Amino acid sequence: MTANNPKATKLDPQWLANKTFDLYQSHGVPIEISEYLIEKEGLILDVDYLQKLIESHQTLSQSSSTAQFKSGLGSNSPKAIAMHTATHILHQVLRSIFGTQLHQMGSAILEDKARFDINLNSSDLTPETITNIEMQVQAIIDKHLTMTKIETTPDIAKGLDAIGLFGEKYGDKVTIYTLADGQTIYSREFCGGPHIENTNQIGKFQILKKKSIGNNLTRLDFVVSL
């Protein structure tokens, strides 16, 4: 960027990162689309800065759900904790169906339902696939698996095939949560919690709806009973 270009600030790599994040965050425009268009125009996107924006957003979402848990009046309700735990199982089932390039793009635990955003085209989720996902998640819940917590280093956690969050940076110590039955691992993920102790505390899992929130970006609303 040249200093005498009046548009220089607008074409700044960080400005483009902010714009990319804002388009994703407010309008559901997938990050890959903005990246593609920026590259096509011969411009440069500050990828590290974009990652920081995503990361701080995730921290914010996490602290807001933590605040939700602590704010009383059903906020630390077993239902909210059960729904959060179910996101781990759902994540793993989706990856087993669509491949490990699928990952969580966002998640929110609301009063009466949970949201789970993934990098997948909505059209890939046929009614049959959704039924299949529900059945697989339910089958794991019904195994009555104990949730175990391990504190370790990020390298060891990655060696254990724990699923991390896209764009997340980890400190020296991380916590991973595992649902396993003997040698069979049903879910292993980097997470701060809280979680239920055993999946027998979760009743029926149901996907309420899918919604396309952009190209290769789908939001699933789901609920669990206790």
Give the residues lining the site for Zn ion (CB under 5 A): 191
* Residue 193: CB minimum distance to Zn ion, A: 6
Number of H helices and E strands in the chain, helices first, is 6, 7
d(CA 226, CA 79): 7
* Residue 104: CB minimum distance to Zn ion, A: 10
Residues with Cβ within 8 Å of 135's Cβ and at least 6 positions away in sequence, in order, are none
DSSP-derived 3-state class of residue 115: strand
Q: Which residue's CB is nearer to Zn ion, number 50 or number 83? A: 83
What are the start-end ranges of the E strands in the chain?
Answer: 104-109, 114-118, 147-152, 174-181, 184-190, 205-214, 217-224
* Residue 142: CB minimum distance to Zn ion, A: 20
Q: Which residue's CB is nearer to Zn ion, number 24 or number 116? A: 116
* Residue 113: CB minimum distance to Zn ion, A: 17
Q: Which residue's CB is nearer to Zn ion, number 7 or number 70? A: 70
Within a 10 A sphere around the Cβ of 131, how many other Cβ atoms? 11
Q: Which residue's CB is nearer to Zn ion, number 162 or number 191? A: 191
Residue nearest to Zn ion (CB): 191
